[in-house]
Amino acid sequence: MAGSENSSPRVLRISQLDAFELDDALELLVWSRFARCFQNFKPGLLTRVEPELKALLQLLVWRFTVYSRSATVGQTLLNIRYHNTLIAGQKYRSLSRKQKLWFALLTVGEKWLKERSHSFFLGHSGLQKARHALALFSSAAKVASLLNFMLFLQSGMFPTLTERMLGVRPVFVQDRGAREINFRYMNRELLWHGFAEFLIFLLPLINVWKLKSRVSGFFSGSDRAGRESESGGRSECAICSEWPVMPHAIGCSHVFCYYCVKSRTTADVFFTCPRCGFEVDAVRPVKFQIELTEMQQT
């Protein structure tokens, strides 16, 4: 058995755990699709037999995965399968029929018993001893699973008690040499993820509003200066360059839409006018000043 283990490369711990995550996702997907077929029926129709139906669907998946190919769905997607370590030798050995049946009993049967035991003992008050014994056994199994998982983190083998009891471990379907990949793509993805995290950390430290105002003022400064000389700088908003809606001023000769200047001053306490660089003093309405100017012109 030691020779067999050394002949084939170990499957990474993360790959073994990913296989379990894929299997759980498949079970949820199959059950959700099955339950959707009864969504127009009477509510609660499947509640009484839900554990049995879930076990039946899990057995159906087990029949066409572990029983026929010695690999779960998640392992098949990751190009791995179970290897029987109880039989010594350098060659790959698939699971025996007895191991496959015990695998179904220890996985599907355990899930069914966990879901059904609560409703079973709920209606029988005379089975308190059996209920306490089952709870004690469940607690012991959880402790054993925790210890087994710690051993798995150390050795990289047998992530579950079921695999350790049955003597099975995942191996690659093909030789590791045939599965070597180019890591340039992974390095590029890691580089982009690191750059994105750097931007997420850096952007909140940059005053985007002020930077945008400075840049827009730099590229359109001459054009705005000509229009301001003609209209006195009060015929358009200094931010959006449109006719000022509910015009307000910050202390300089320019006017702003109320929502433009309010949003900018809320986002930036040290907001400055994008036209002249005047720092905000106080936001004041200029409605009466405009009306007074129009009366003087007429």
The answer to whether residue 194 sits within a structural domain is no
Q: What is the largest CA-CA distance in the chain?
A: 107
Which backbone phi and psi does 266 adopt, to 5 degrees?
A: -70, -40
Distance from the first to the final alpha carbon of the chain: 105
> What does the DSSP 8-state code read for residue 175?
-
Both 9 and 106 in one domain: the answer is: yes
Both 171 and 224 in one domain: the answer is: no
255 neighbors 244 (Cβ within 8 angstroms): yes
pLDDT confidence of residue 4: 43
Q: In which band, very low, low, confident or very high, does the pLDDT at 87 lie, cut at 50, 70 and 90?
A: confident
**Higher per-residue confidence, 107 vs 194:** 107
- Where a domain ends, among 140, 159, 179? 179
Angstrom distance (rounded) from CA 81 to CA 94: 9
The answer to whether residue 199 sits within a structural domain is no
| CA-wise closest residue to 263 among 224, 212, 200 | 212
Q: In which band, very low, low, confident or very high, does the pLDDT at 160 lie, cut at 50, 70 and 90?
A: very high
Q: Where are the alpha helices (DSSP H) in 123-207?
A: 128-155, 161-166, 184-202
Both 94 and 232 in one domain: the answer is: no
SS3 254: coil
> Does the pLDDT value for residue 179 go beyond 70?
no
Which segment of 72-81, 90-99, 210-219, 247-256 scores lowest on mean pLDDT? 210-219
85 neighbors 169 (Cβ within 8 angstroms): yes
Both 282 and 157 in one domain: the answer is: no
Both 34 and 95 in one domain: the answer is: yes
Angstrom distance (rounded) from CA 105 to CA 122: 24
The answer to whether residue 203 sits within a structural domain is no
pLDDT confidence of residue 287: 60
CATH of the domain at 221: 3.30.40.10
The answer to whether residue 191 sits within a structural domain is no
The residue type at 104:
A
Number of domains in the chain: 2
The answer to whether residue 188 sits within a structural domain is no
The answer to whether residue 151 sits within a structural domain is yes
> Does the pLDDT value for residue 68 go beyond 70?
yes
Which structure tokens are listed for 229? 């000389």
The answer to whether residue 165 sits within a structural domain is yes
**31-42, pLDDT tens digit by residue?**
999 988 888 888
Both 79 and 153 in one domain: the answer is: yes
**281-294, pLDDT tens digit by residue?**
788 887 644 444 44
Burial group, residue 294, by CB count within 10 angstroms (0-12, 13-18, 19+) = exposed
Both 129 and 264 in one domain: the answer is: no
Both 162 and 221 in one domain: the answer is: no
Both 130 and 235 in one domain: the answer is: no
Which residues on adjacent β-strands are paired with residue 248?
256, 285
CA–CA distances in Å: residue 38 to residues 32, 44, 54, 55, 149: 10, 10, 14, 18, 39
The answer to whether residue 197 sits within a structural domain is no
pTM greater than 0.85 (yes/no)? no
Both 245 and 141 in one domain: the answer is: no
Both 66 and 167 in one domain: the answer is: yes
pLDDT confidence of residue 1: 42
Which structure tokens are listed for 291? 């009306």
Both 109 and 36 in one domain: the answer is: yes
CA–CA distances in Å: residue 177 to residues 172, 174, 185: 11, 8, 19
Average pLDDT over every residue of 150-176: 88
- Where a domain ends, among 179, 196, 225? 179
Q: Which residue range(s) make up the domain with 256?
A: 208-297
